[in-house]
Chains A and B, each alone.
Chain A
Amino acid sequence: MDTLAPAPSPQPPAASTPAISVPATVPAPAGEILIDIDQVDFFYGASQALHNISLQIQDKKVTAFIGPSGCGKSTLLRCLNRMNDLIDGTRVARGSIKIRGIDIHRPDVDVIELRKRVGMVFQKSNPFPKSIYENITYGLKLQGVRNQARLDEVVESSLRGAALWDEVKDRLHTSGLGLSGGQQQRLCIARAIAVEPEVILMDEPCSALDPVATAKVEELIQTLRARFTIVIVTHNMQQAARCSDKTAFFYMGKLIEYADTRNIFMNPANPQTEAYVSGRFG
């Protein structure tokens, strides 16, 4: 953890960019509320994708979003690092999303800084067509880190963090696209953790992977939960049950139920949730 402490300089003073984070060396106690989603309505143009979502995501926990396709779980996930800004005509019409108390839609919030703090792993693994080494150092180089020794160190620690080091340590300078599907996805996770985010958003990270690769990623999530807050969208209910602490069930853009994973699967309060997790619909 210490070796990954943020680079000394490029942090601007807290006044100009509202600090979304506390320094990584002072970990917040697990379970504290990190992301507070409050009555959010979200629109793609004229069609409403999210209805009045309120949800609190706890620090250093794994939170899973489940629900049938088109239920808004990915949309909500992409709201958390404002990736929806890239899509024309999208807007958060009501409500707020606060990370450590700061509303991320406030005009003085730097979206670049936000995305450094809230990393993302995509459904389709997207290693850049560069070497494995360059993939990992991409984010750091953007931040102006040029120190070779430090880059080497981060590459190793990130790849170890993503349980990929032993498989690729002899081929760091070959293309990231030469890896297998599961390795590519773990490379993307390594790339995300290399910039030391607080939160990692995972958008169906295993949907394109075979069961063995999926198991490895799930194992990885178990080790990452100690250092990062993880929000994972999944279609796979067993996956949510296996690796999450809290689960939110969405249906038709509404949050139906949000509780401890054990309760959602063993003892759901809502009949719709019960029907979904037992496989009777969806």
Chain B
Amino acid sequence: MSALTTHPFQTRASVAHRSETAIFWLFRGATYFVLLCGAVVFLNIFVKGSRTVFQTKAPFVNTTFFTDSPESLYVFQWEGQKREMGDKEFRAFKETHPAAANVKAESYVYCAGGIFPCIVGTVLLVVGSMTIALTLGVCAAVYLNEYARDGTFIRFVRLAILNLAGVPSIVFGLFGFGMFVIFFGWNVSLLAGWFTLAFMVLPVVITASEESLKAVPKGFREGSLALGATKWQTIRKNVVPYALPGILTSSILGIARVAGETAPIMFTAAYVVRDKLPWQVDHFSDFFFQGVMALPYHIYVVSSKIPQNEYTERVQYGTAFVFLLIVALIAAASILLRSRLRNRYKW
């Protein structure tokens, strides 16, 4: 036995050995802790939100929550029972029950109805701003990676892009307010929101697009040029298509950010409440100059701008749940597109 313990390969656990184990568990613990945090957040929103979004009766999904505008909730005693009704329902109830005309009801603003205008507004904001950001961002990335020669000026441009990424979102909001809303006179509008959000994600899109352009092997460019292609033909046919999956990955991150930010849109595009839906405009050009409701701003309003009670909690968690669902859906669509492109252009 003593012979074994002195064997050089079978020494007892040394300090080095124990610290190895400790470090391994530290890192593993940190990783699992992150997972735990994520799970707690998602489960919390899922459990509380599903009370609003799902219901026990068929069709099991609270469809009015998805298809109606926010309304006030009226809570009152009727024939010894506590009744909860949305604004429209309450008025109809009073018509059919004349005795209820003077019933004393407590009203809770935004706590009934649904969040349809917010869903529409957020989708419009995401689609518009990502279109602008991808167009500008991909063009800039192609210029920086394919055309520009490295020099002081280009280094300065890259520095500017990095700095842009560090600007707090509220500053983007104020910039958009000053620039688009006031100086350009666009008022609180989709257009102002699109550009503000686009500028906010632009650094992410440019940096990631440039990385994916860099990842396209030099041989593809040389091979194409050696066949007598112009630079633009080479870029269009033989570089950008292969970089698209990477560019889409960056746009997924961008989508989550654009959809989620409240600060940039609160001055530029978002309304607390709006009766008309975005397509109810007189002229198509009015479409771009109207404000919209948006999910993150709605959450902000119902969580901090109105008196809190058990009824607001429903709409808060319900909205948050739907919000996560929508971001997940948009991201899933881009991931699908990306994997299809990847299968098409693999190297």
Contacts and interface: CB of A to CB of B under 8 A. Distances in A.
Counting chain A CB atoms within 10 Å of each CB, which of B149, B227, B238, B345 scores highest?
B227
A142 B233 contact: yes
Range class of the B interface residue count: 20 to 34
Interface of B: 149-150, 217, 219-230, 233, 237-238, 242, 345-347
A81 B226 contact: yes
Given A115-B228, A142-B237, 20 more contacts: A83-B226, A86-B222, A88-B150, A115-B226, A115-B227, A116-B227, A116-B228, A122-B219, A126-B217, A126-B220, A126-B223, A127-B223, A129-B346, A129-B347, A130-B345, A138-B238, A142-B227, A143-B228, A177-B346, A191-B223
Give the interface size class of chain A: 20 to 34
Given A142-B228, A175-B346, A126 B242 contact: no
Contacts of B346: 129, 175, 177
Contact of A177 (B221, B225, B230, B347): B347
Contacts of B345: 129-130
A112 B227 CA distance: 8
Contacts, number: 68
Contact of B225 (A113, A115, A124, A127): A115
Given A88-B149, A126-B217, A142-B233, A83 B228 contact: no
Contacts of B347: 129, 177
Contacts of B221: 86
A119 B242 contact: no
A139 B227 contact: yes
A277 interface: no
A120 B220 CA distance: 13
18 contacts: A81-B226, A88-B150, A112-B228, A113-B228, A115-B228, A116-B227, A122-B222, A126-B220, A126-B222, A127-B223, A128-B223, A129-B220, A138-B238, A142-B227, A142-B229, A143-B228, A188-B223, A191-B227
The 3 closest A-B pairs by CB, nearest first: A126-B219, A116-B228, A139-B227
Contacts of A120: 222, 226
